[in-house]
Amino acid sequence: MSISPANKLQWLLRRELWEHKGMLGTPALVGIVMTVLGSLMAAATVARTKMHTALIVNGEEVSWSAIFNTRTFGPRRTEIIDAVANNYTYAAAPLFLALGFLVFFYCLSALHDDRRDRSVLFWKSLPISDAQTVLSKAAIALLVAPLIVAAAASLTSLALVLILSGVLAVNGIHVFAELLASPGLYLGPLRVFGLLPVYCLWALPTVGWLLMVSSWARSKVFLWAVGLPLLLLILTVWAGKLTQTESDVSWIQMHVIGRALLGTLPGSWYLFEPGLLPHARALAEGGSHMTRIDVFSNSWSSLALPAAWLGAAAGGAMLYAAIRLRRWREEG
């Protein structure tokens, strides 16, 4: 009985998750630690004191809760609640940072470990092509791992905003109902998941480079994967100083060396294309500074840049090279 390519891919993805349990465990662990720390900080805040005095009027203390609940403070209160609802997913920044390291080191070991423990001989005996194997590992790095981290980040940030609401409620500031009525509370996780295609395209060059080195290097994969770009960086800096053309080689340093090593970090497109940052500030200045920081649409606009697609094409070429190297590389 033949197995369809879709079923083969499904089993290959399961195999990767079985062999790399850190893909599931690390985001869950980081999310739990963040939630526990947030709970402990909230408990300490409640146990220590009520909200501190905001100001003194005619010798009487006026608390923050009294100010926050006044009718004249209503517009500002609504603005603050909208800002929290629209931007609370940023609280999961440590998880997004962990994603960069998780994908980076997974790709480094993905193909090299098969040769080191000789399991490659077993997998080559199965009716599974080298292309299917390499593409399954790329799918883990570009799709599965980001999906897992996005889910963990959404749950963690939601838990943190609920903890914050609880602390405010204990101190007389009740915002839970208004948060639930804010569309941003529900759109936040959708925006995170909606950025996955952008992440895939910008991370593809780094994933392709790391998988190619993992498929080729006999040993010291990290040294080859990081050392070669750093050596190229040193040479370009030296050449720029020698020829007085630092501005000409800076493009190579950022778009070749930088994209080979830093693409797995979410938001790396802001590093590679600094021109996106003034555009983000312009979006923020178009309305409320607290509610109009639209990272979602700003990140999608980065796909209009040629650098995104040139890098993706280079990443695809390196994935093809990884497939060929796995097919012809002498084992052992």
If you write DSSP's letter for every residue of 238-261 in order, what string do you get?
A: HHHHHHT-HHHHHHHIIIIIIHHH
Residue 293: per-residue pLDDT: 53
What rounded mean pLDDT belongs to the chain? 80
Q: What is the DSSP string of 3-57?
A: --HHHHHHHHHHHHHHH-THHHHHHHHHHHHHHHHHHHHHHHHHHH-SSPEEEEE
Which DSSP letter does residue 71 get?
S
Rounded to the nearest 10 degrees, what angle do helices 93-110 and 22-48 cross at?
160
Question: Which residue matches tokens 């209009």?
Answer: 304
User: What separation, in Å, do the N-terminal and C-terminal C-alpha atoms of the chain show?
Assistant: 33
Query: Looking at the chain, how many residues does it have?
Result: 332
Residue 206: per-residue pLDDT: 96
Cβ-contact 134, 211 below 8 angstroms:
yes
Residue 66: per-residue pLDDT: 54
Please name the amino acid found at residue 284: A
Residue 242: per-residue pLDDT: 77
The whole-model pTM stands at 0.82
User: pLDDT by residue (tens digit) across 200-251?
Assistant: 999 999 999 999 999 888 888 999 999 998 888 888 888 777 777 666 667 7
C-alpha span between 206 and 106 (Å, rounded): 12
User: pLDDT by residue (tens digit) across 79-116?
Assistant: 777 778 888 888 899 999 999 999 999 999 888 877 76
Residue 62: per-residue pLDDT: 44
Please list the rounded mean pLDDT of every run of 10 residues in the chain (332 residues): 71 84 87 91 68 46 53 64 83 92 92 68 62 91 94 93 82 77 88 94 96 89 91 83 70 83 92 74 50 73 91 95 78 46
Please name the amino acid found at residue 208: G
